[in-house]
Amino acid sequence: MPPTQFSSLATLCQHLEATTKKLEKSALLSDFLKNLQPNEISPAVLLLLGKIFSATDERTLKVSWRTLQKLEEQTPKGKTPSLSILDVHQHFSRIAGASGKGSRQRKEELLADLLGRVSANEKTYLVKMIFGEMQHGVAEGVMQQGIAEAIDADLALVRRAALLLGDIAEVARLGLIKGKNALAQVSLQLFRPIQPMLASLAEDFEDVFKEHGEQTALEYKYDGARVQIHCDRSTAQVKIFSRQLSEVTPSLPELVEWAQTKIAADSFIVEGEVVPVNAAGKPLPFQELMRRFRRVHQIAETQKEVPVKLYLFDLLYLDGKSYIDQPYQERWQKLAEICDQSLLADRLVASDKTSAETFLQRAMQSGHEGLMAKDLTSLYQPGARGKKWFKIKPADTLDLVVVAADWGYGRRTGWLSNYHLAVRDEESGEFMVVGKTFKGLTDAEFQWMTESLQRLKTSETNFTVQVRPQIVVEVAYNEIQRSAQYRSQLALRFARIKRIREDKAPEQCDSLARLQQLYEKQFEKKGRGTQKERVAFQ
């Protein structure tokens, strides 16, 4: 069987762009996937999703928009298609692997060679893949449906395998080579991180008790970074993963030590929050913690400058047994049995609003964000956001993605400082703008954002720079309004950035559906909405 040409993948992308119907898209994907050779499956799935490497692969291309634009102009056009999918994937691997002295020039040479060996149509999609902007309406959900159809499996089976493996390309490879029964056997594994379970926002404790019944487990909501710690004493191995599933072990050596000395188990996966603290143990601003995550050298020095505390709140795996299908209360009890008490999150099982409110005030007075409320019977659902877990915070905020920025003027001259903020449409995978703001950041943060956004630039017109959706910011606002200015139909009033969320991936930002729900709730509360306005999004 001859190798699959990259041109056929580019043609598939054209066909996907040509239809808005999800069923047609999944059928196109299914037909394509079934005809791939085993070693082509993973690269093809990643490329179709606008990803060069999987989420757990630390490699990146580190190619700027300006470099790509220059090389595009220099390379000849209209070549006869000749490269296979594997040729393209291997080329990307060589580009990512270039390092050391002269690596920038070597990367440009390799990229120029790749661009010079493809047709005009192939080049169009190569560029989109490099910047992660496919614009064909295939997000991971549609890809999961395509995989399910290709192997004649239930979509729920594919979804669960994707959540447990944390890699949709690996799910496709496993399912297409070994069949749906292989996916049914997928289980939680040490050193393969899974997507974290997520929480919905509750307006008050009345909402919480309505969903959870007579009791709910309350935990402090810490203003830190979520971590997943994997440990196997038989190999003396500890790995720490961020909520984006990136390994951050070298940045947090004290967590490695605590995992080895303060948890009594042979092997385990625990989840918690790491928080920067001062000498008195009081929590510091979140941005202080990012100094730890960014640093790859002089770790010991930064460790002294920014000490941290670890608060554990869940147990996912213990001594060969997965606990994600066990009730939350059982997971907590087992966690409390094996952990030093100094590592456990502050917690209260509440039966009434009065005790819950008192616990919230205690959390706020201690310098934390608010509370988490967890159903005692809830199973751990990787990547899911529902009503089994709630977060209760005094002021509502949204996690939004920066998709463009305007050059500033006056005091902000020279900085990309007016940010176009977007939510994610979960159905299409597109990011949809809901407002702009230049408020909330320090001068140092403006400088960091400018440098970071320039590396993510995809185009520039007049005073606006379009960027790859990569940077997540936490945004406070006064009100959500209807707006004909944006495709989302919504806009934030008086938006201001509270902090940059380097710990979050763009896919973890708030959804368009959630913004619509918040809009409708506030309208009803203020008594200003008509029924027509309330159902306008349905």
Contact 139, 426 (CB under 8 A): yes
Please give the structure tokens belonging to residue 97: 């692997």
Q: What is the pLDDT of residue 531?
A: 43
Give the C-alpha separation, 200 to 385, whole Å. 6
Catalytic residue among 123, 221, 239, 309: 221
Q: Which CATH class is domain 198-392?
A: alpha beta
Give the C-alpha separation, 393 to 521, whole Å. 17
State the average pLDDT for the chain: 90
Give the C-alpha separation, 160 to 187, whole Å. 9
Q: What is the pLDDT of residue 529?
A: 40
Domain(s) labelled CATH 3.30.470.30 in the chain stretch across 198-392
Q: What is the number of residues in the chain?
A: 538
Q: Which residue has the tokens 């979509």?
A: 155
Q: What is the pLDDT of residue 97?
A: 92
Q: Considering the domain 397-534 in this protein, what is its CATH number? A: 2.40.50.140
Domain(s) labelled CATH 2.40.50.140 in the chain stretch across 397-534
Q: Considering the domain 6-184 in this protein, what is its CATH number? A: 1.10.3260.10
Q: What is the pLDDT of residue 428?
A: 84
- Is residue 436 part of the annotated active site? The answer reads no
Domain(s) labelled CATH 1.10.3260.10 in the chain stretch across 6-184
Number of H helices, E strands in the chain: 20, 19
Give the C-alpha separation, 184 to 156, whole Å. 10
Spans of the chain below 70 pLDDT:
76-81, 295-297, 395, 522-538
Q: Identify the burial level of 21 via C-beta atoms within 10 angstroms of its C-beta, where 0-12 means exposed, 13-18 middle and 19 or more buried.
A: exposed
pTM equals 0.75
Q: What is the pLDDT of residue 295?
A: 65
Give the C-alpha separation, 151 to 154, whole Å. 9
Q: What is the pLDDT of residue 530?
A: 40
